[in-house]
């Protein structure tokens, strides 16, 4: 490394490079791979998330809709609820299995430094934990054990960091969970009223005590999920529109970058002009590439 350049070891965010320059440090020709964090707590939380969504789908479908005497009521609500559940779980998978913007490990080498063409006296920053050059707005995650570009926070419910590359899917996940929670609560309220009117006879294929317990638990789950995801959805949209991550807000960091506010911020996260692709978690999914790649472990995360 040239003596005209200064390299500092830091653990917090400092301005340096943009995301494109940071990506140069990745190995040439490296196969793009699916990201997965091997964290016990995160994997348990992700399993619980899936279990609760599937439980809600079971109660709505088999306890409320199938016993209904109204054919169209059952069909319409069944299709809507199950479509929202699929979109929510797909968004969860995309959030969990997408690299959030990890900076290549150990790229603070002499060869890489020389490739940056830095000006004499220019200060750059190296993470003392993962030994990588930190791009602007990157922060180190102690769970992923990597520096993440535009890291917002680490969410155990998706077993991943929310960062530059997967924030869109996290926003969709919170939105769809809030929607199915609202739908489940509305169906539960209608079902309770209907069952009381017929005195719980022919109201469900399950016995009245079992039906009541299943529906009460669903209502509690729906209220909890709706509160959490609605607040998180609003927080994420506010952060995107202000071009400020949660970490930057909590640390009260002054922006050294040109902010993309409101619709510009939304377009930078969701891509392009407003369209149905914004709310489609399947957009950009390439199954051939996914199936053609190999499994490989790499510290706390592994790629598929």
The dihedral formed by the CA atoms of 93, 96, 99 and 101, expressed in degrees to the nearest 10: 120
Q: Where would I find the H helices in the chain?
A: 19-22, 40-58, 71-97, 110-115, 167-197, 208-241, 246-250, 263-270, 287-292
d(CA 236, CA 224): 18
* Cβ count within 10 A of residue 230: 17
**Distance (Å, rounded) from C-alpha 287 to C-alpha 303?**
15
From 127, 147, 155, 161, the catalytic residue: 155
155 annotated active-site: yes
* Look-up of token digits 């739908």: 183
At a CB cut-off of 8 Å and minimum separation 6, what does 248 contact?
Answer: 13, 137, 255
DSSP state of 60: I
Residues 199, 205, 210: CA angle, nearest 5 degrees:
75
**Three-class DSSP category at 174:** helix
Cα dihedral across residues 132, 136, 139, 145: positive or negative: negative
CB 46 within 8 A of CB 159: yes
Measure the CA–CA gap between 48 and 54, rounded to whole angstroms. 10
User: Catalytic residues, which ones?
Assistant: 155
């Amino acid at each position: 490394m040239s003596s005209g350049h200064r390299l500092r070891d830091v653990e917090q965010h400092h301005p340096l490079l943009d995301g494109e320059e940071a990506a140069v440090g990745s190995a040439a020709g490296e196969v793009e791979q699916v990201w997965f964090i091997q964290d016990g707590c995160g994997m348990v939380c992700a399993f619980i998330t899936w279990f609760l969504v599937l439980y809600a789908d079971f109660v709505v479908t088999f306890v409320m809709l199938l016993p209904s005497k109204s054919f169209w009521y059952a069909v319409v609500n069944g299709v809507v609820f199950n479509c929202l559940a699929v979109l929510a779980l797909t968004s969860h998978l995309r959030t969990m299995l997408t690299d959030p913007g990890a900076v290549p490990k150990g790229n603070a080498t002499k060869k890489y430094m020389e490739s940056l063409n830095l000006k004499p006296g220019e200060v750059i920053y190296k993470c003392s934990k993962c030994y990588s050059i930190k791009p602007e707005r990157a922060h180190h995650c102690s769970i992923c054990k990597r520096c993440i570009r535009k890291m917002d926070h680490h969410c155990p419910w998706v077993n991943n960091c929310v960062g530059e590359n997967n924030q869109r899917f996290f926003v969709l996940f919170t939105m769809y969970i809030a929607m199915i929670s609202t739908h489940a609560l509305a169906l539960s309220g209608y079902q309770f009223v209907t069952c009381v009117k017929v005195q719980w006879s022919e109201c469900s294929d399950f016995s009245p005590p079992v039906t009541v317990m299943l529906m009460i638990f669903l209502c509690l789950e729906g209220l909890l999920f709706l509160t959490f995801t609605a607040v998180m959805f609003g927080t994420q949209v506010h952060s995107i529109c202000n071009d400020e991550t949660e970490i930057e807000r909590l640390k009260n960091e002054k922006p050294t970058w040109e902010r993309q506010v409101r619709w510009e911020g939304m377009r930078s996260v969701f891509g392009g002009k407003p369209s149905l692709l914004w709310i489609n978690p399947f957009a950009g999914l390439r199954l051939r590439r996914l199936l053609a790649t190999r499994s490989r472990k790499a510290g706390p995360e592994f790629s598929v």
